[in-house]
Amino acid sequence: MAAITLPTDPTLDEMRLALGAEIPAHAVFDGWSDAALEMAAQALGLDPAHAKLAFLNGAVDMIDAWYASLDARLALDFPPDRIAAMKFRERISALVLARIALVRAHKQAVRSALAILARPRNLGKAAKFGWRTADALWRIAGDTATDFNHYTKRMTLSAVYGSTLLAWLDDESEGEADTRAFLARRIDNVMQFEKLKTQFTPHPDRHFSVSRFLGRLRYPAA
């Protein structure tokens, strides 16, 4: 994954995003540590002392920045015109596989990041990161739902992405065929769920309406 371009006089947020894209290359050998952060800063021509100011919470902040950089890269790689040319199912599959492709060169960094996020004190952060990734994927895919579906879609996709990522970590098949097949099955399950949910969603005219009820009391049907 190419590093995000850094402005001449970057803000802390800009440093965090750029370093988030660079740290994994060093975390492969040194873990999500100050040593990895220092080497990433040097690679980007930044003062390591200033770089540390962008990650006051250590490893979790570094992982957070990495995930944010992946979402930013996906948004660049899948502009609206590219997404519009895909069928809806293809969009989600392509985005999940593309996000995995972005971390392919840093498989060990992925493992160590997940191990850190699995610690009890970090579970809240892990859930937050998963939700944010699912939200980013849906937004890139063109989803504009603002009702209850907004939340169910993100919960579902967060689970799909997380389980697919775990399957990928253990995938030794040629061309990662097992991961692709696993993702296809998960998306099939989601599509079946969405279809079932639609069948059980009451028609808007069948929802209880106080005004309609009072109107019928006042003007009963003949």
**pLDDT, tens digit, 9 for 90 and up, residues 109-137:** 999 999 999 999 999 999 999 999 999 99
Asked if the model's pLDDT at residue 68 lies above 60, the reply is: yes
The better pLDDT of the pair 50, 146 is held by: 50
| Mean pLDDT to the nearest integer, 157-177 | 95
- pLDDT exceeds 60 at position 33: yes
pLDDT at 144: 84
Q: Are 110 and 129 in contact (CB under 8 A)?
A: no
Residue range 13-26, pLDDT digits in tens: 889 999 999 999 99
Q: Is the model's pLDDT at 181 over the cut of 60?
A: yes
Kindly give the interhelix angle for 59-77 and 123-141, rounded to the nearest 10 degrees: 10
- CA distance to 82, 96, 148, 155, per residue, from 168 (Å): 25, 11, 31, 20
**Residues 1-5: what's their mean pLDDT?**
54
Question: What's the whole-number mean pLDDT along residues 197-207?
Answer: 52
Window from 76-90, 122-136, 200-214 with minimum mean pLDDT:
200-214
Domain boundaries, the chain: 58-200
In the predicted model, is pLDDT for residue 199 greater than 60? no
**11-25, 31-45, 180-194: range with lowest mean pLDDT:** 180-194
Residue-level pLDDT at 8? 74
CA distance 81 to 62: 32
CA dist 161 → 17, 40, 64, 85, 165 (Å): 22, 27, 16, 22, 6
Write down the architecture of domain 58-200 according to CATH: Orthogonal Bundle (1.10)
CA distance 6 to 171: 34
Question: What DSSP assignment string belongs to 88-128?
Answer: HHHHHHHHHHHHHHHTGGGHHHHHHHHHHHTSGGGHHHHHH
Report the C-alpha dihedral over residues 21, 27, 57, 44, rounded to 10 degrees.
-40
- On average, the pLDDT of the chain sits at 86
Looking at the predicted structure, is the pLDDT value of residue 53 above 60?
A: yes
